[in-house]
Amino acid sequence: MFPVRGQTEGQMEEVALLGPIELSVNGRRLEAGSPKENCALAVLSVECGHTVSPDTLVARIWGQDPPAQARANLTSYLSRLRRRLRDAEAGDALLEHRPGGYVLTLDPEAVDLHRFRRLRRQARAIADSGDDEHARALLIEAETLWRGDEPLGGLPGEWARDLRMSLREELHAARLERIEAELRLGLHDVVVGDLSRLTAANPFDERAAGLLMTALYRCDRHADALAVYRRVHRLFAEETGTEPGERLNDLHERILRRDLDLAAIPLYRRAPAPADPATRPDAAPSGPPSPDPFPSELMPPDTEDFTGRDAELGMLTRPAAEAGDDAARISVITGLAGVGKSALAIRAARMLAHRYPDAQLYLHLRGHDPVRPPMSPHAALAELLPQLGVPPERIPAEFGDRVVLWRRALGRRRAIVVLDDATGTEQVRALVTAGPVRLLVTSRRRLAGIPGASYLPLDVLGVDEARELVRAITGDGLTAAHVDDIVSRCGRLPVALRVAAGRAAAGPQEDRHDGLALPEEDEDLAEAAFELSYRALTDEQRAVFRRLGLNPCSEIRPQAVPILSGHPGDVADDAVETLLDHHLIDEHRPGHLRMHDLVRAFARSRAFDEDSNGDRRRALGRLLNYYLACAHRADLVLHPHRRRLPMPDGAGGDDAQPCIREAQAWMDEEWRNGLVLAHHAMARERKQDGVLLVHLLSQFLEVHGHHESAGEAQEEALRAARELGDTGFTAQMLYELSVTNARTGRFSEALEAAEQALALSRAADDRHATAEVLDRMGIYLAATGRYREALAHCQESRGIYSQLGDRHGEAEALVHAAMVLWHLGRYKEAMVHLRASLNGYRSTGDERGEAAVLNNLGEVQRQRGYHRDAVQHYLEAARVFGGSDDGRNAAILKSNIGNVHLYKGEYQEALRCHREAISVFRAMGDRRNVADTLNSLGVTYLLMDRPTEALVHHQDAERLSREVGDPGQRVRALQGIGDAHRASGRYSTALDYYQKALSLAHDISDPYGEGKAHEGIAGAVLQLRGADAARIHWRQALDLFEMLDVPEARSIAIRLQMVDGVAS
C-alpha cells in the first residue's frame, strides 16, 4: 500500500478497498469495524469528495429491503467510524455531515481504488502518446495495489457484489492492457505465463486468446499458437454454436502463413509509407510524413552460385533448443583467406531471418583492408546503432555509453548480426550482448575468449562441391577433365576457384596457364590463381585492374572507373565487364563495384610493381578531383545559400548541374567514400584538397545527422588546416566543428570552437565568416538559456550582413534574433524581425527558410492571441513546404496545427495532431520536440478536464527537458505539473511546482513563464490562504502579461476586479 496525504493537514490516511477493507492513519491500521460499518466506509470512499445521501447509503448497505431502523443504524455506524478516526488523531473533519448527506473529505489518492483507476487512465494516455515503457510501469504499479483477487473483502449485499464483479473486470482489462504494452515492447516470452492463466480463467475472452496466440508465435511456438485457436474454436462451437470473431480468425490466418510482420515486435517494425503532408488544419488526417528510422536492406545479397556447405549451414541454423542457448547464439566462423567465410555467414543469416524478424544487421570490420585500418569497437558501434534506428545525434561520444546504448537498443529484439572480417577478440567482445540476438562472426583468426561462443573452422570445399562451384560459374562449356584440372590447381579454395572458373568461362578451353604451376600452400593458391587471370587480360584491362586496386574506398561506381583509370569510357567499361566475367570484381549491389580483399591486395601489389609513383599519384589525384567536383555540384544544389571556401581553378568540373534528387542521391551514396578520400589526401600531399572535401560534405553531414563521422573528419581537417597555416581553412573547420558539437549537445565545446573561429575571422578581416560565426554563437547561447547574450550576438551578426549587402545572411540572423526576442517576451519586436526575415528569404529564393519563418510567425501570433492570423501563417507554411520530405519541419507544423485545434475547442483533433507529430519526433530521436509535444498533450488533456492524464505527460516532459538541457520547456512542464495538481485539488503540491517554475523562468529571463507561474501561484494560494494572499501574485502576473501584450492580461484583470468587488 502507498500512503497518501489526506486533506487534513499533517495527517496521512488511507482506505484500502482492493482486498479486505482496511483503514489506516499515519501508517497504523485501525481495528476493523462491523461488515455494515465497513460497507458505509466503502460507499463513502468510492464517492470520496462527493456528498452521498442517506437514502443512497441505506440502499447500498441493505439493498432493496432495508430494515425499519436502517436510518438509525446508519447514524450509529457513521458515529462509530468518526470516533475511530478521532481516536486515531485523524480529526473530525474527515467525515462531514453536510446538507444532503455525508462526505468523506479525503484526497482520492488516499483510496487505493482511485489510485488504481488513475494509474490506468494515465497508462492508456501515455501509451497513446507512444511511451509503452512508462505505460507498462504505471500498469504494474496499478496491479500491485490489489491484495488478492477479492476486492471489498467481507462486505455483504448486492451493491458490494456487483461492484466486486465490476472491479474484477477492471483488473482483468488492466492486465490485458499491460500485456499489450509488453508485447509491443517485445516481452512476448514474459507474458506467456500470465496469458495462459488469464485464458484458463476466461476461456471465452477472444482478446486474451489473441494475445496468447501472438506471444506464442513470437516465441517461435507456432504449433502452440495454432493449438490455442483450435481450442477456442472448439469451445465456441460446442458451447454457443458460433465461431470466433473476425479478428481472431485473421490472426489465425496470419500465423498459418508465417506472417513476418506479425512476428516482428511492433516497436521495431518498419514504418508504413508516409501519407501526403497536411495542407490545412481541417485536412489534418493526412499527417506529416513519418520517417522510417530503419534502413530497408542491411544484409548483403546472397552469393548467386553459393555451393555446398550443407553440414556447416545445418550447424549454424539449427534451433537453440538443439544446440544450447549460448552455442546457438554466438558462432565464430574461422578459416584462411578466400575460403568462403563471409558467403557462408551471409547465407546462414538469410536462412535465419524469419527467426530474427526484428533486425538483420551486417558490418564489415575491415580486418584485412589493404588501405584502411581495422574498425575499432568505438567506430563499429557508430555504424551499427543507426542500423537499429538510433538517430546519429543520439549516439554518445564515450565508448562505455555507446556499449550501454547498443545493449539497450537491441533490448529484446530478435536480431541477427553478422560481423565480417574481425581481427581480434576486443573488436567483437563489446558487441556481444544478452537477449535473443544471434551473432555470426567471421575471422581468419580463432578469436578465443568470446564468452559463450562456438567455433566453426571452415576448410576448403570438398572435391564434389568444388566441381559443382566451377560448373555453376562456367556452365556446361568445359570438359570434365578441364573442370578437374581447375579444381586440382586451385586446391579447392573458393576464391581461387571463382577467378579461375571465371577466366575459363571467358575464353577458349585450351590450356592458358602459360606454364605457371599453382603452389602447394593454401595461402598462396589465391594469389597464383589471380596471377593466371591477370595474365589473360589485355594491357588496358590490366591497367584498369591495377588502378582499381589503388582506390582507398571499399567500392566504386562504374562512372568513376574511367576517371581513376585514365582510360576512355568505352575502354574502361569493356575492362569492367571483363573483370566481372573473371570474378576479379563483383557488383554486390546495382551500380557499385568492389573487390575481395585478397583480389584488391593483389591488384594493389601489381600497381606498385608495374606503375610509377607518378602514375599512381595522378590516378588518385584524378579520383580526388572527381569527388571534389561532384561534391561541389551537389552541395551547390542542396545548399545554394551556403558560404563556401573557394574551389581550386578547374576543380568545379564541366558537367551539368544535377537536380535536387540526383544531388541528394549522390550525397547519400558517396559521403563515406568522400571522407575516405579526404583522409587519404590529408595523410599525403594534398592536405588542402582533403580539407576542402570535408568542408563540402559538412553541411550534408549536419543536416542528415552523421555527426560522429563529421566530427572525426573535421578534427582531422582542422589539424591539416593548421599544418598548412591557412587561416581561412582553419577558421572554417573550427566553425563547422562547433556546429557538430552543438548538434550532439556539447554546447560548451561548440562555443569554445566558435570563439576561436571568430578570433581568426576577425584577425583576417573576413566579415562574412565573422557574421556567420556570431549568428551561430547566438543559437548556441539561446539553446542554453542565455537569451540576452544570444540576442547581442545575433544583432551584431545582422549588422555585419546588412553592411555587406548579404540579404540571405541578414535573414538568417533576423530569424534567430526573433526567436530569442520571443523567449524574452518582446513579441512585437520578434514580429518585426520575422517579417523582415521573411522578405529576405523570399528575395533570395530560399523556400525552406520562408516556410520556417511562416511557421514561427504562426507561433508568435498564437501566443499573442491572434489565432486567425496564426492559422493563416501555418497554412502558408504548409503550402511552401509542399511535398518536402523534411519530416521534422512537417511534424513541427502538425503540432502547431494541433494547438490551433486546441484553441478552437477541438480537443480530439488536437490530440491526434500532437500524437502524429510526437511519433515522428520519437522516430527521429528529436527529444527537444518530444518534450514540447508532451507539454502540448498535457495542456490538451487538462482542458478536457482530465488532469491525471495531463500530469503524466507533463512529468515526462519535465524529465526529458532536464535530460536534454532545455530550460524553457522545463518551465512549461513544471507549470503544467502544477496545473494538473491544482485541478485535482492538491494545492500545496501545486504551489511547490509553481514556485520551481517561477525560479527557473526568472533565471533564464522568461517573462511569459514568470507570468504563468505567478498566475498559478495565485490560484493555489487562493485555495490555501485566501484572496488577499493571492492578489499580490495576480498583480505581478498582470504586470508581466500587460508588458507582453498577451490575452492572459485581460483574464487576470477581470479576476482582480472580481476579487476586489467581493472584498469591497
pLDDT value of position 476: 81
Give the pLDDT of residue 327.
47
Q: Any idea which of 179-183, 450-454, 680-684 has the lowest mean pLDDT? A: 450-454
Q: How confident is the model at residue 595 (pLDDT cuts 50, 70, 90)?
A: confident
Instruction: Pull the grid cell for residue 355.
Output: 527467426
What is the per-residue pLDDT across 394-408, written as a single tens digit (0 to 9) for each?
Answer: 777 788 888 888 888
- Pairing state of beta strands 415-422 and 28-29? unpaired
What pLDDT is stored for residue 6 in this prediction? 43
**What sign has the CA pseudo-torsion 1023, 1025, 1026, 1028?**
negative
- Band of pLDDT at residue 933, cut at 50, 70 and 90: very high
Q: Which pLDDT does position 198 carry in this prediction?
A: 96
Which positions ≥6 away from 684 have C-beta within 8 Å?
none
The pLDDT tens digits for 937-950 are: 999 999 999 999 99
The pLDDT of residue 507 is 63
- What is the pLDDT at residue 864? 85
92 has pLDDT over 70:
no
Note the pLDDT tens digit of each residue in 235-264.
999 999 999 999 999 999 999 998 888 888
Average pLDDT over residues 173-202: 94
- Tens digit of pLDDT for each residue in 378-397? 889 988 988 888 877 677 77
pLDDT tens for residues 1049-1064?
999 999 888 877 654 4
Assess contact for 113 and 18: CB atoms under 8 A.
yes
Q: Which residue has the cell 512549461?
A: 972
Q: What angle do CA 304, 309, 314 make, to 5 degrees?
A: 115
Nearest to 701 by CA among 691, 692, 711: 711
Residue type, 750: A
**Rounded Cα distance, 638 and 640, in Å:** 6
- The pLDDT value given to residue 269: 59
Confidence band (pLDDT; 50, 70, 90) for 302? confident
Per-residue pLDDT tens for 471-495?
988 888 788 888 888 888 888 888 8
| Percent of the chain residues topping a pLDDT of 90 | 56
The pLDDT tens digits for 875-884 are 888 888 765 5
The pTM score is 0.76
Task: Return d(Cα 529, Cα 522) in angstroms, integer.
Answer: 11
- Model confidence at 430, pLDDT cuts 50, 70, 90, reads confident
Under 8 Å between Cβ of 613 and 638? no
Task: With a cut of 70, say whether residue 320 has pLDDT above it.
Answer: no
The closest of 500, 580, 496 to 544, measured between CA atoms, is 580
Give kind and range of the element (H or E) at residue 234.
helix 222-239
- Give per-residue pLDDT as tens, 525-555: 677 778 878 888 899 999 999 999 999 998 9
353-359 average pLDDT score: 86
Largest Cα–Cα separation, the chain: 121
What is the residue whose three cell numbers read 483507476? Answer: 117
Q: CA-CA distances (angstroms) from residue 224 to 200, 358, 905?
A: 15, 21, 49
CA–CA dist 622, 624 (Å, integer): 5
Give the separation between CA 687 and CA 788, rounded to whole angstroms: 40
Of all residues in the chain, what percent carry a pLDDT higher than 70?
91
pLDDT at residue 12, as a whole number = 59
State residue 875's pLDDT score. Answer: 85
pLDDT at 780: 94
Give whichever of 435-449, 911-925, 971-985 has the largest mean pLDDT.
Answer: 971-985
pLDDT at 663 over 60: yes
Q: 735-739, 875-879, 978-982 — which is least confidently predicted?
A: 875-879
- pLDDT for the residue numbered 213: 96
Q: Rounded to an integer, what distance in angstroms lies between the CA atom of residue 404 and that of residue 419?
A: 19
pLDDT at 1005 over 50: yes
Angle between helices 767-783 and 787-804 (to 10 degrees): 160
Q: What is the SS3 assignment for 173?
A: helix
CA distance 638 to 606: 40
Question: What integer pLDDT is reported at residue 783 of this predicted model?
Answer: 86
pLDDT, position 1064: 42
Place 518 in a pLDDT band, splitting at 50, 70 and 90: very low
Residue range 157-163: mean pLDDT, rounded: 95
